[in-house]
Chain A
Amino acid sequence: MPEQLSIVELILNASLVVQVVMASLGLASIISWGMIFQRWFYLRSVVASVDEFEDHFWSGIDLQKFAKELEERVELTGIEQIFVAGFREFRRLSDQSGAEPESIMHGAQRAMRVALTREEEQLETHLPFLATVGSTSPYVGLFGTVWGIMNSFRSLANMSQATLASVAPGISEALVATAMGLFAAIPAVIAFNRFSSRVDVVIKRYEAFSDELTTILYRAAHSRGQNK
């Protein structure tokens, strides 16, 4: 065959079902890459903010002042929000007269847990989508391929003389769908694994921080109780 099969021709010559499959896979690939980039930037900024916050926190500044400073800010990063939520609750409860240190601590812990859950949710957004793309798009691509090959063999049945040249373009066309499925799936799977492990690391750090803050607050609550 003198004509060259460029990839555009292959896509344009495919049957409608295969084209729909290819279009959906292309869309899935673009969206998943968008999410990969978004998560990448986001997690990097989160890790940087946690590092910065911890440096700041353990530098021995006054927590009251630090909390006030943070509360005035419009936007807070994840770890800052946990700190602010816990500290605010602690202060509010300890301001009330006659509050037990235990109940103050319970309130602060609960507030921190709520903030932590919200942060986890923030960290894990889009990861289910990546997992879905990673696990289903090979199958979708395979479906397109099977459909395309099926059609090309069916058209072969109508021919009197079966030559390789009459099936090869159809199969080549159909295989583009599988290639696209894999193209969408592989980065999505890699990104999902990498991001979920990073999210775990970040959550562990959040938890560790909230435990540390709890001990600090606990100490403060009990020293306040003894002072009374």
Chain B
Amino acid sequence: MWVLRQYGAPAILAICLHVVAFLGLQTVWSPEYREFTVPKAEIVTSQLLVLEHTKVPRPPIPEPKKNLAPKSPTIQPRSLDDSETKKDSLAKTENSSFPSEVSAFDTEPEMPELDDFARTSFAEALEQEISAVRQDKITKEVEEIAAGFRYGIYKKVVANWSRPPSARNGMVAKLLVELIPTGEVLGVTVLEGSDNIAFNQSAEAAVRKSRRFEVPQQPRIFEAHFRRFTLLFKPEDLIY
């Protein structure tokens, strides 16, 4: 009873004070949310556009083929003795005294033939084009993968780089980096450095310090892009 009278009010006051302090801190404490924009490498490819371009000429070709639809079965055998019929038709067309009806009749089968020739050549070309594009696409994909890994390598080198006091913006060091398939650094040499020796050495040391880079698992890509590659070390883009 005595204890309650002596300590009841102080205890309630103390607890109230702490609750108020806590709630106040909770509401006041809102660290402003700042967004840090860090530039990221974005690889943009325009392959799709190229493919569309090659496909565009295709639709006009099948249209004449529709007109000659009944004769299309004859196209195949005729294309075998291509040269003879060609001569015939040429001779026929030379004789301009022929009635226009005949000539009209005769020249008619010739048309699909030429067209066929053009078409086959066009199809071949198209196929070649497509395969070339596909090849191109594959190489571009490889390029893209390689670029991604190269960016990672560059970032790691930059992270390991300790800036010498004499380093200035605009200094460039071209390094030849040799890796083994696990990504470990085999050797680094400075191909072209800046005038500043300390800078060149720091760039070289940064690569050595990285020890191991992430490299693609596919041996083909690795051989093509990462066995020996040049790394252009330009620290001016360090200052985000």
Residue positions of A touching B, CB distance < 8 A: 2, 4-8, 26, 29-31, 33-38, 40-42, 161, 183
Is A7 in contact with B14, judged by CB distance below 8 angstroms? no
Identify the interface centre among A7, A33, A161: most chain B CB within 10 Å of its CB: A33
Known contacts A38-B6, A38-B7, A41-B9, A30 near B14 by CB under 8 Å: yes
Q: List B contacts of A8 (CB < 8 A).
A: 26
With contacts A6-B26, A29-B18 known, is A34 near B31, CB below 8 A? no
Tell me the minimal C-beta distance from B215 to chain A in angstroms: 16
Known A6-B26, A30-B15, A161-B159; contact A35-B31, beta-carbon cutoff 8 A: no
Among A2, A37, A161, find the residue whose CB has the most chain B CB atoms closer than 10 A: A37
Q: With A and B bound together, what is the CA distance between A37 and B15 in angstroms?
A: 11
Minimal beta-carbon separation of A5 from chain B (angstroms): 7
How many Å lie between the Cα of A40 and that of B6 in the bound state? 11
6 A-B pairs in the complex with CB atoms less than 8 angstroms apart: A6-B29, A7-B29, A26-B18, A33-B10, A33-B13, A37-B10
DSSP majority for the A interface? Answer: helix
The reply on B30 being an interface residue by CB < 8 A is: yes
Chain A residue at minimum C-beta to C-beta distance from B18: A30
Chain B hits for A29, CB < 8 A:
18
Interface residues of B (CB under 8 A from A): 6-7, 9-11, 13-15, 17-18, 21-22, 25-26, 29-31, 33, 159
Structural contact, A34 and B10, CB atoms closer than 8 A: yes
- How far is B128's CA from A136's CA once the two chains are assembled, in angstroms? 84
Closest to A8 in B: B26
Q: Are A37 and B18 in contact (CB under 8 A)?
A: no
A4 touches B31 (CB 8 A): yes
Q: Cβ of B15: which chain A residues have Cβ within 8 Å of it?
A: 30, 34
Distance from B37 Cβ to chain A, minimum over Cβ atoms (Å): 14
Contact check, B14 vs A37: say whether CB atoms are below 8 A apart. Answer: yes
Given the complex of chains A and B, what is the CA–CA distance between A40 and B10 in angstroms?
Answer: 9
- Which of B9, B10, B26, B159 touches A7 (beta carbons < 8 Å)? B26
Shortest beta-carbon distance, B112 to chain A, in Å?
A: 66
Q: Are B26 and A37 in contact (CB under 8 A)?
A: no
Bound-complex Cα distance A40 to B7 (A): 11
A12 to chain B, nearest CB (A): 13
Q: Which residues of A contact B17 (CB under 8 A)?
A: 33
CA distance A118 to B86 in the complex (A): 136
**Which partner residue on chain A sits nearest B25 by CB separation?**
A7
Report whether A37 and B31 are in contact in the complex, using a CB–CB cutoff of 8 Å.
no
A113 to B10, CA, bound (A): 31
Instruction: For B6, list chain A residues within 8 Å (CB).
Output: 38, 42
Q: Are A35 and B10 in contact (CB under 8 A)?
A: yes
Asked if A38 and B10 make an inter-chain contact with CB atoms under 8 angstroms apart, the answer reads: yes
CA of A6 to CA of B30, assembled, Å? 7
CA distance A8 to B29 in the complex (A): 11
Cβ–Cβ contact A4 & B30, under 8 A: yes
Besides A2-B33, A33-B17, 12 more A-B contacts (Cβ < 8 Å) are: A6-B26, A6-B30, A7-B22, A7-B29, A8-B26, A31-B14, A34-B15, A35-B10, A37-B10, A40-B10, A42-B6, A183-B21
Q: How far is the CB of A183 from chain B (nearest CB, A)?
A: 8
- Residue of A34, A35, A38 with most partner-chain B CB within 10 A: A34
Among B10, B14, B18, B33, the residue within 8 A (CB) of A4 is: B33
B159 partner residues in chain A, CB cutoff 8 A: 161
A residues in contact with B9, CB < 8 Å? 37, 41
Interchain CA distance A4-B26 in the complex, whole Å: 12
User: Once the chains bind, are A33 and B26 in contact (CB under 8 Å)?
Assistant: no
Chain A residue with Cβ nearest B15? A30
Interface centre among B6, B10, B21, B30 (most CB of A within 10 A): B10
Closest B residue by C-beta to A172: B31
Q: A41 to B31, Cβ gap below 8 A?
A: no
Top-6 shortest CB links A-B = A37-B10, A33-B14, A38-B10, A34-B14, A34-B10, A34-B11
Give the residues in chain A near B22, CB-CB below 8 Å.
7
Query: Which residues of chain B have C-beta atoms less than 8 A from A41's C-beta?
Result: 9-10
Whether B31 and A5, one on each chain, are in contact in the complex, defined by CB atoms closer than 8 angstroms, is yes
Contacts of A34 in B (CB 8 A): 7, 10-11, 13-15
Q: In the complex, which residues of chain B have a beta carbon less than 8 angstroms from the beta carbon of A7?
A: 22, 25-26, 29
B151 CB to closest chain A CB (Å) equals 14
